[in-house]
Homo-oligomer: A and B are copies of this chain.
Amino acid sequence: KKETVVLAYSGGLDTSCILVWLIEQGYKEFVEEFIWPAVQANARYEERYLLGTALARPCIARKLIEVAKKESATYISHGATGKGNDQVRFEIACYALMPTIKVIAPWRMESFLSRFAGRNELLQYATEKNIPVTATKAKSWSMDANLMHISYESGELEDPATEAASDMYLMTTDPENAPDIPERISIEFKNGFPIKVINKDGTVVDDALKLFLHLNEIGGKHGIGRIDIIENRFIGMKSRGCYETPAGTILQAAHIDIELLTMDREVFKLKQYLKTQFESQVYNGMWFSPECEYTRSCIALSQEVVEGTVHLKLYKGGVYVTARESPRSLYNQDLTHFSMYIEGDHNASDAAGFIRLNALRSREFQRLKR
């Protein structure tokens, strides 16, 4: 009896093709259900990586499982390697969404591995069979592109001491070639979601998907969002990756700014902890896990107040917040003014007491040390 296999391409531009197709079908799922929660979280794995690939995986896996169920497939197959994160992300998501699904992963099969000893054999095979691929022997790295970013790894990037080729990046202009004139935009948020981009010419983009693509375009033009990093894979080893994430970089700068205008200090601290957890969960492929659903719910709870507009300048790779305003601002100009004490709030001598009591433990500590 023949069994059906649903095939996923994860290793290259194919992924972005699938996403293009999804877009054409009218889906915005990736932006609204996967990227927006990451924007709310200010997610940045190990302080740097904006999780572009990690966010796409559960979205694709969900689609795969939809297809698998429709086609009564018993297998899915993907081209992710046996040392990377993507196999983990695809499979954990698929197992979660369809417990009986089985996985065929050629890069973990001895027969496949013995046939293709490395990337070169694979490129040669592709040439022989006229399979079009982005990676060439000259440009030996592999890349993975989606709506949110392009990632580059392996090949000559495998040596962390080697600088990436200047013509590698495809989604962003080299900052050195970016426009000499800065560009100004404003982004409006509600519930921690970006709902509007206002351009300098007054035009407005307010559809989630179009807004994101617009920021990709404008950010790409100004060379925004390139990073070259060492990161820790879930599987236990380190790897080197280069990423370009124009819209994601702009949105994070803007979101964190409006958040600090509208969110209480201690709630922000709690959310910082949840953010760190969320980053690992997403990176490790745990999107559909109980802990990630819980973390997303808690983060979403914190965003109800995150509302307002951030003004930005984009220039040669840099995103500069210049000003911000919000109807829910917690910034109280009267309160801040250095010499004005408002009745009922606090008076000039309060700070002295505050300080002395906060100094108590340090004083005892230093006294006992002597």
Quick one: which of A31-79 are within 8 Å of B by CB?
Answer: 42, 46-48
The answer to the question of A187 belonging to the interface, with a C-beta cut-off of 8 Å to chain B, is no
The answer to the question of A117 belonging to the interface, with a C-beta cut-off of 8 Å to chain B, is yes
The answer to the question of A355 belonging to the interface, with a C-beta cut-off of 8 Å to chain B, is yes
**Closest beta carbon of chain B to A105's beta carbon, Å:** 7
Quick one: which of A351-369 are within 8 Å of B by CB?
Answer: 351-368
Quick one: which of A108-166 are within 8 Å of B by CB?
Answer: 108-110, 113, 116-119, 154, 158-164
The answer to the question of A316 belonging to the interface, with a C-beta cut-off of 8 Å to chain B, is yes
A318: chain B residues within 8 A (beta carbon): 175, 316-318
A103: chain B residues within 8 A (beta carbon): 352
Q: How many angstroms from the CA of A162 to the CA of B110 in the assembled complex?
A: 47
Say yes or no: B235 contacts A264, CB within 8 Å.
Answer: no
The answer to the question of A328 belonging to the interface, with a C-beta cut-off of 8 Å to chain B, is yes
Contact of A290 among B108, B162, B264, B359 (CB under 8 A): B264
Contact of A368 among B260, B277, B330, B340 (CB under 8 A): B330
Say yes or no: A351 contacts B359, CB within 8 Å.
Answer: no
Residue of B nearest to A89 (CB): B355
A: contact size bracket: 35 or more
**Most chain B CB atoms below 10 A, which of A237, A329, A345:** A237
Q: How many angstroms from the CA of A359 to the CA of B84 in the assembled complex?
A: 16
Q: How many angstroms from the CA of A132 to the CA of B345 in the assembled complex?
A: 34
A161: chain B residues within 8 A (beta carbon): 311, 323-325
Quick one: which of A262-280 are within 8 Å of B by CB?
Answer: 264-270, 272-274, 276-277, 280
Q: What 0/1 pattern do residues 262 to 304 of A give for CB contact below 8 A with B?
A: 0011111110111011001000111011110111011001100
Say yes or no: B109 contacts A344, CB within 8 Å.
Answer: no
A315: chain B residues within 8 A (beta carbon): 175-176, 316-317
Contact of A345 among B46, B108, B321, B360 (CB under 8 A): B360
Say yes or no: A339 contacts B301, CB within 8 Å.
Answer: no
Contact of A339 among B107, B175, B274, B365 (CB under 8 A): B107
Say yes or no: A339 contacts B116, CB within 8 Å.
Answer: yes
Q: How many angstroms from the CA of A240 to the CA of B335 in the assembled complex?
A: 12
**Closest beta carbon of chain B to A246's beta carbon, Å:** 14
Say yes or no: B95 contacts A362, CB within 8 Å.
Answer: yes
Say yes or no: A236 contacts B95, CB within 8 Å.
Answer: no
**Closest beta carbon of chain B to A103's beta carbon, Å:** 7
Say yes or no: A95 contacts B356, CB within 8 Å.
Answer: yes
Q: How many angstroms from the CA of A240 to the CA of B325 in the assembled complex?
A: 12
Say yes or no: B368 contacts A328, CB within 8 Å.
Answer: yes
Q: How many angstroms from the CA of A363 to the CA of B100 in the assembled complex?
A: 10
A-B contact pairs, 25 of them (CB 8 A): A47-B256, A87-B355, A107-B339, A108-B352, A113-B339, A118-B339, A160-B261, A160-B325, A230-B257, A230-B261, A235-B357, A238-B336, A264-B289, A264-B294, A264-B365, A270-B277, A285-B358, A286-B362, A289-B362, A294-B301, A316-B316, A316-B318, A317-B317, A330-B368, A351-B357
